[in-house]
């Protein structure tokens, strides 16, 4: 939201999700860079229209799941086979491979546990969301029914303003 | 882009704008509680306090205050545990499975259904805790290093699998729910006028602002969490059923248990969602969002899962006969005709017979009838667990030790206490949390809102 020294950000407010989506496409077609879009709900196709790279959160989730699986294998191997093997119900702990079927539920649960929780932590950290953080939107209407597009100014300011007006913006300001 | 077949009924009734949704979802939080809320809350709180008293009495005196004896060593505590865990399952089913199937009707009900999941798993977790006797040693169920060797937990035991399953289920459901809540808390924060309220919702909303990249990650996260929660929820009741199925008690030792328990869990959970939502939509005038169609859909799920449960009951009887094991045969004969016949036939009536009324459209769109059936189903599902647990135990291999179980006032008090605790949590939730996932609901307004659908029909796609 904060404008850097080099760039001036022009903010255009919209009152419809379809209009803002079209505006993003129009503005980008004219060669402007869309700095940010705030919306009260996810707009389908907005990330592609803005040219955002796909998120790699699910790849991270897969790796976290593998870490959970590995943890469960190491844990059951250490605790049940090497550290204190016991003969439980006439079923001695011979080797991890032979006992493995009994560990499947634990392996599954820990895979899910690691994948889910670490993904959520990653989500909070990447988005800089934490309890008590200042609101990232400075206009309270943006969680209600208004949509804000921030465009980096390039060249003539009048031209950009006109373009934004034409695209359906209801308010235009400079940040 | 927002096209939906005109034959589909609208999911949001009336001429709503995005702003209307905001206002109507925020209203219960921003206005004073209706009198009926205070009445319900006081009643729930009394039950809860009574339950706390009974729990403290149990911890002080020991498990001897319950009605257990040496033959029936597991009764209401585990019955209640399984009942509450089962109820929780519908919440995850609605939020995760229906998300994977892209069912839009989930959006008006998923928040409350997930809240129900979390609150009912809390109740469930209480029972194994207090049954340990020494609650403060509860951490022994986790593999912590200790001074005895270390002596580790037994990873071959289904009871330990249960610890892992329930912990994972509870914590994953909680974060799944919370991630979805953050944009809605931000909405409440941005509307709040009272500075204290604003500050609280500022903390709760984590600073959410609705940036495009964040929404992109949000949607991906929701999808993957749904994908993880779906097998998770199936695993939880599967593992709960293994607490019984891996033992060698006639009536428990059956391979049908996992799918049978999962179907029963979904069945009872949807009944509880139905009970709660009928109250919520009435109390907060949410009829435009939680429509008759939502109620009907859930009744169809109740009918389907109730019938699956019925098939499971009959399969169980068949297998008992077909196995040729006389102990197994006796266990089932005893269930249906022995001293607990009334519990068995209550179960059959409530779970198999009563949902069949839902074949009739008139009945499944009748709110009063739906409410009654939803209560009946939950009573039936409680009886199911009671029948499985107590009637399988009370006549074991040795006739000299046959006995009956009768609950003490402490058993009853703790059970009523958990019902009170559950409603205390749920009623507080309805006044402080957005009860409808409004950010998600706004995404379907243009495709499934009544006004937009009519526009589309009159003017074609725009």
B193-217 pLDDT, tens digit each:
899 999 999 999 999 999 999 999 9
The reply to whether B156 falls in a domain is no
| Conformational region of residue B102, where left means phi above 0, alpha means psi within -120 to 50, and beta covers everything else | left
Is the CB of residue A157 less than 8 Å away from at least one CB of chain B? no
Nearest CA in chain A to B207: A135
* Residues of chain A contacting residue B143, judged by C-beta atoms under 8 Å apart: 75, 79
> Between chains, do B154 and A40 touch, taking CB under 8 Å as contact?
no
Q: Does residue B181 have a pLDDT over 90?
A: yes
Mutate to test the interface with B, among A73, A143, A146 (most CBs of B within 10 A): A143
Residue A1 has pLDDT above 90, yes or no: no
Q: What is the pLDDT of residue B2?
A: 67
Structural domain contains residue B217: no
Q: What are phi and psi of B312, to 5 degrees?
A: -65, -40
* Comparison of pLDDT for B190 and B14, the residue scoring more: B190
Looking at the domain assignment, is residue B327 inside a domain? yes
The average pLDDT across B145-164 equals 89
The Cα B106–Cα B169 span in angstroms is 20
pLDDT, tens digit (0-9, with 9 covering 90-100), for B392-445: 999 988 889 999 999 999 999 999 999 999 999 999 999 999 999 999 888 888
Number of domains observed in the structure of chain B: 1
Q: Which of B176, B204, B210 sits opposite A38 (nearest CB)?
A: B210
Token pair in block for residue A9: 């950000």
The answer to whether the Cβ–Cβ distance between B206 and A36 falls below 8 Å is no
Which of left, alpha, beta for B291 (phi over 0: left; psi -120 to 50: alpha)?
beta
Measured distance CA(A160)–CA(A152) in Å, rounded: 10
pLDDT in tens, B238-288: 999 999 998 888 889 888 999 999 999 999 999 999 999 999 888 888 888
B213 and A18 in contact by Cβ < 8 A?
no
Pick the most confident of A141-145, B44-48, B62-66, B322-326: B44-48
Residue B13 maps to a domain:
no
Q: What is the pLDDT of residue A5?
A: 56
The pLDDT, as a whole number, for residue B235 is 93
3-state helix vs strand vs coil in chain B, percent to 5: 75, 0, 25
Alpha-carbon distance A19 to nearest alpha carbon in chain B (angstroms): 12
**Strand A9-14 relative to strand A171-174, pairing:** antiparallel
Q: Which of B146, B167, B207 to mutate to test the interface with A (most CBs of A within 10 A)?
A: B207
For residues A28 and A169, the answer to whether their CB atoms sit within 8 Å is no
The pLDDT value given to residue A161: 87
Neighbours of A33 (CB within 10 A): 14
Contact flag B204-A117 (C-beta cutoff 8 Å): no
Q: What is the average pLDDT across B293-322?
A: 92
Tell me the pLDDT of chain B averaged across its residues: 90
Q: How far is B338 from chain A (nearest CA, A)?
A: 32
Looking at the predicted structure, is the pLDDT value of residue B1 above 70? no
Look at residue A88 and give its three-state secondary structure.
strand
CB-CB under 8 Å, B235 with A86: no
> What angle (nearest 5°) sits at the alpha carbon of residue A17, between those of residues A12 and A22?
70
Residue B220 lies in a domain: no
CB within 8 Å: B156 and A80? yes
H or E stretch at B424: helix B409-432
Assess if residue B83 is contained within a domain.
yes
Instruction: For residue B144, give the chain A residue with the closest CA.
Output: A79
Q: What is the ipTM score, two decimals?
A: 0.92
Residue B178: the pLDDT is 94
Of residues B1 and B125, more confidence is placed in: B125
B110-123 mean pLDDT: 92
Which of chain B's residues have a Cβ under 8 Å away from the Cβ of A133?
206-207
How close B247 comes to chain A (CA, Å)?
Answer: 11
For A147: left if phi > 0, alpha if psi spans -120 to 50, otherwise beta; the answer is beta
pLDDT at A4 over 60: no
Q: Where are the alpha helices (DSSP H) in B246-365?
A: 257-283, 292-323, 326-337, 341-348, 361-364
The per-residue pLDDT of chain A, averaged, comes to 88
**Range with the poorest average pLDDT among A126-135, B9-18, B182-191, B427-436:** B9-18
B78: in domain: yes
Quote the tokens at residue B49. 């306090």
Nearest Cβ partner for B207 among A58, A115, A129: A129
Which residues in chain A have their CB less than 8 angstroms from residue B246's CB? none
DSSP letter at B12 equals: B
| Alpha-carbon B421 to chain mean position | 14
pLDDT for res A68: 96
Q: What is the pLDDT of residue A67?
A: 97
- The SS3 call for residue A40 is coil
| CB nearest B211 (choices: A36, A119, A124) | A36
CA-to-CA separations, A169 to A18, A24, B391, in angstroms, rounded: 12, 11, 70
Q: Which residues of A touch B215 (CB under 8 A)?
A: 39, 41-43, 46-47
The least confident of A2-6, B54-58, B141-145, B288-292 is: A2-6
Band (B30; pLDDT cuts 50, 70, 90):
confident
CB nearest A52 (choices: B179, B207, B216): B216
Is A12 in CB contact (< 8 Å) with chain B?
A: no
Lowest-confidence region among A29-38, B75-84, B116-125: A29-38
Q: Of the candidates B156, B215, B224, which has its C-beta nearest A42's C-beta?
A: B215
Chain A 29-88, residues with CB within 8 Å of chain B CB atoms: 36-47, 50, 52, 54-55, 57-58, 61, 75-76, 79-80, 83-84, 86, 88
Please, which pLDDT band fits residue A6 given cuts at 50, 70 and 90?
Answer: low
Q: Is A165's pLDDT higher than 60?
A: yes
Q: What percent of chain A has pLDDT over 70?
A: 97
Instruction: Mark yes or no for CB contact A143/B210 under 8 Å.
Output: yes
* Cβ proximity of B96 and B166 under 8 Å: no
Residue B329 exposed, middle or buried by CB count within 10 Å (0-12, 13-18, 19+): middle
Lowest mean pLDDT among A36-45, B128-137, B268-277, B351-360: B128-137
What domain range is B395 assigned to?
18-151+240-456
Banded pLDDT at A95 (limits 50, 70, 90): confident
Sign of CA dihedral A102, A104, A105, A106: positive
Instruction: Please judge whether A80 and B208 are an interchain contact, meaning their C-beta atoms are less than 8 angstroms apart.
Output: no
Average pLDDT over residues A133-141: 89
B434 neighbors B111 (Cβ within 8 angstroms) = yes
Nearest residue in A to B155, CA atom: A103
What does the pLDDT average to over B121-135? 89
**Band of the pLDDT at B187, cuts 50, 70, 90?**
very high
Query: Is pLDDT of B455 > 80?
Result: no
Report the pLDDT value the prediction gives residue A2, as an integer from 0 to 100. Answer: 52
Is residue B165 included in any domain, yes or no? Answer: no
Could you tell me if B417 and B14 are in contact, meaning their C-beta atoms sit under 8 angstroms apart?
Answer: no
Kindly determine whether residue A105 and residue B207, on different chains, have CB atoms separated by under 8 Å: no
């Amino acid at each position: 939201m904060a404008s850097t020294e080099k760039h001036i950000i022009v903010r255009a407010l919209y009152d419809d999700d379809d209009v803002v989506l079209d505006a993003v496409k129009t503005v980008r077609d004219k060669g402007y860079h869309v700095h940010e879009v705030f919306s009260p709900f996810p707009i389908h196709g907005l990330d592609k229209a803005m040219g955002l790279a796909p998120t790699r959160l699910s790849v991270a989730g897969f790796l976290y799941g593998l870490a959970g699986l590995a943890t469960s294998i190491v844990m059951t191997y250490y605790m049940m086979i090497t550290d204190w093997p016991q003969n439980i119900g006439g079923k001695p702990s011979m080797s991890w491979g032979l006992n493995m079927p009994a560990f499947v539920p634990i392996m599954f649960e820990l895979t899910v546990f690691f994948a889910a929780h670490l993904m959520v932590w990653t989500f909070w950290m990447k988005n800089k969301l934490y309890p008590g953080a200042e609101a990232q939107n400075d206009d309270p209407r943006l969680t209600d029914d208004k949509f804000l597009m921030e465009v980096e100014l390039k060249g003539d300011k009048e031209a950009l303003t006109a373009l934004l007006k034409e695209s359906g913006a209801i308010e235009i300001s400079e940040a | 882009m927002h096209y939906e077949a005109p034959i589909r009924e609208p999911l949001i009734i009336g001429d709503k704008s995005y702003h209307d949704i905001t206002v109507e979802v925020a209203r219960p939080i921003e206005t004073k509680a209706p009198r009926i809320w205070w009445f319900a809350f006081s009643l729930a709180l009394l039950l809860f306090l009574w339950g706390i008293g009974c729990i403290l009495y149990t911890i002080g005196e020991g498990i001897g205050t319950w009605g257990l004896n040496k033959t029936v060593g597991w009764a209401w505590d585990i019955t209640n545990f399984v009942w509450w865990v089962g109820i929780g399952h519908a919440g995850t089913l609605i939020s995760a499975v229906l998300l994977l199937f892209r069912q839009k009707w989930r959006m008006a009900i998923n928040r409350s259904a997930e809240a129900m999941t979390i609150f009912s798993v809390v109740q469930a977790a209480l029972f194994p805790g207090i049954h340990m006797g020494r609650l403060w040693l509860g951490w022994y169920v986790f593999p912590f290093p200790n001074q005895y060797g270390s002596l580790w937990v037994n990873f071959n035991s289904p009871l330990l699998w249960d610890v892992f399953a329930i912990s994972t289920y509870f914590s994953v459901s909680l974060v799944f729910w919370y991630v979805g809540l953050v944009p809605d808390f931000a909405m409440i924060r941005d509307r709040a006028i009272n500075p204290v309220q604003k500050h609280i919702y500022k903390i709760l909303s984590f600073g959410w602002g609705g940036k495009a990249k964040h929404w992109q990650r949000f949607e991906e996260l929701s999808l993957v969490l749904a994908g993880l929660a779906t097998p998770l929820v199936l695993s939880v009741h599967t593992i709960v059923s293994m607490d019984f199925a891996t033992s060698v008690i006639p009536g428990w030792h059956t391979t049908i248990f996992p799918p049978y328990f999962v179907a029963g869990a979904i069945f009872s959970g949807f009944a509880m969602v139905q009970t709660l939502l009928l109250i919520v939509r009435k109390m907060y005038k949410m009829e435009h969002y939680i429509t008759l169609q939502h109620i009907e859909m859930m009744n169809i799920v109740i009918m389907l899962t109730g019938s699956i449960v019925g098939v499971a009951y009959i399969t169980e009887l068949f297998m008992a006969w077909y196995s040729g094991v006389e102990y197994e045969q006796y266990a089932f004969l005893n269930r249906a005709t022995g001293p607990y016949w009334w519990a068995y036939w209550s179960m059959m009536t409530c779970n198999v017979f009563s949902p069949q009324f839902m074949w009739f459209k008139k009945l499944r769109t009748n709110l009063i009838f739906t409410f009654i059936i939803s209560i009946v189903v939950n009573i039936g599902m409680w009886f199911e667990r009671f029948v499985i647990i107590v009637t399988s135990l009370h006549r074991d291999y040795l006739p000299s030790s046959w006995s009956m179980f009768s609950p003490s006032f402490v058993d009853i008090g703790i059970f009523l206490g958990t019902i009170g605790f559950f409603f205390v949590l749920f009623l507080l939730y309805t006044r402080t949390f957005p009860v409808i996932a409004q950010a998600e609901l706004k995404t379907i307004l243009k495709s499934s809102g009544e006004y937009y659908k009519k526009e589309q029909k009159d003017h074609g796609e725009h």
